[in-house]
A and B are shown apart, each in its own frame.
Chain A
Amino acid sequence: MLNYKSSIIENKKYSGLSIKEISPVMKLNLRGKSRDFLSTIGKNINMILPIEANTSSSSDKYTSMWLSPDEWLMVSNNIIDKENNNYEIGDLLFNKISKTNLGAVTDVSDQFVLINLEGEKVFDLLSSGCPMNFNKFKEKEGTVAQTLLSQVDIIIHHKKHNNVNLFVRRSFSEHLFSWINDAASRL
């Protein structure tokens, strides 16, 4: 089900900032509240969903991001093999969670576009279009925030030092990408 058509045509490089799209990546939206939900997810992906606000947790294969007290975004750390195009974990979780009414598992792989920003000017760029204060956010690795960037809803994941993943809805991605390029050229 992965969409291979890239919404971003070329990767860009500026001094202190490089911008690229990472695709295809599996993305699942997980919703649920009960203890059973959390333990079933934990058993099947071998990691615990982050309970603390604005944090994420990672295993070797997946990263889970806290979105709200009952909502998480789970993404694969590596790109999915284009040849066989499957990610069994999605079906497995759907059968164990959605079918048993423990919660909801929704495949949002094609809904979100993953834009990776890297370089020492990452937070200068984000600050120029974001109402959020990044002082605390950039101190820790693994922090997550949902906010607005140039009036577009985004999920920001602080992956590593000066390396940030942006998740943006596909229909907004081209607009946001051109805004990022415009803003980056003025830094």
Chain B
Amino acid sequence: MFIINCPFCGERDQSEFKAGGEAHIERPKQPTELSDDEWAEYLFMRKNIKGVQFERWNHAHGCRKWFNMVRDTSNDEIKLIYKMGENPPIE
């Protein structure tokens, strides 16, 4: 269990949130020109690394807003939280 600082509501318990997978995955500009492999790459392939990862989270049992989080998956340390639409920090 850990505390997440929702950019709208403030600090809340992790059980109020839902993880939404990897962040900043861009939809291909010309989907019709992609091969099946490339399309599958976009749809299903996620990094799932051990270490610092960019993720989307949803405050499902609170304000129901989505936001981005930079989290270290090995120790659940939250590095940064920023709103949807904002550019990811360069690290």
Contact = CB atoms under 8 A, between A and B. Distances in A.
Interface stretch (B19-27, B32-40, B41-49, B59-67): B59-67
A131 interface: yes
Contacts of B61: 146-148, 153
B8 A69 contact: yes
Interface in B51-69: 61-65
Contact of A147 (B8, B62, B64, B65): B62
Contacts of A153: 61
Contact of A146 (B11, B15, B63): B63
A148 B11 contact: no
Contact of A54 (B9, B13, B16, B65): B9
A15 interface: no
B10 interface: yes
B59 to A, nearest CB: 8
Interface size class of B (residues with CB under 8 A): 10 to 19
B79 interface: no
Interface string A138-152: 000000011110000
A67 B63 CA distance: 6
A185 B64 CA distance: 33
Nearest to A136: B10
B78 to A, nearest CB: 17
B65 A69 contact: yes
Contacts of B15: 131, 148
B86 to A, nearest CB: 15
B12 interface: yes
Contacts of A131: 12-13, 15-16
Interface in A11-45: none
Contacts of A79: none
A69 B64 CA distance: 10
B12 A68 contact: no
A53 B9 contact: yes
B65 A148 contact: no
A133 interface: yes
B72 to A, nearest CB: 22
Nearest to B15: A131
B16 A148 contact: yes
A185 B35 CA distance: 63
B64 to A, nearest CB: 6
Interface of A: 53-54, 67-69, 71, 131-133, 145-148, 153
Given A68-B62, A71-B64, A147-B16, 14 more contacts: A53-B8, A53-B9, A54-B9, A67-B63, A68-B63, A69-B63, A69-B65, A131-B15, A132-B12, A133-B11, A145-B62, A146-B62, A146-B63, A148-B16
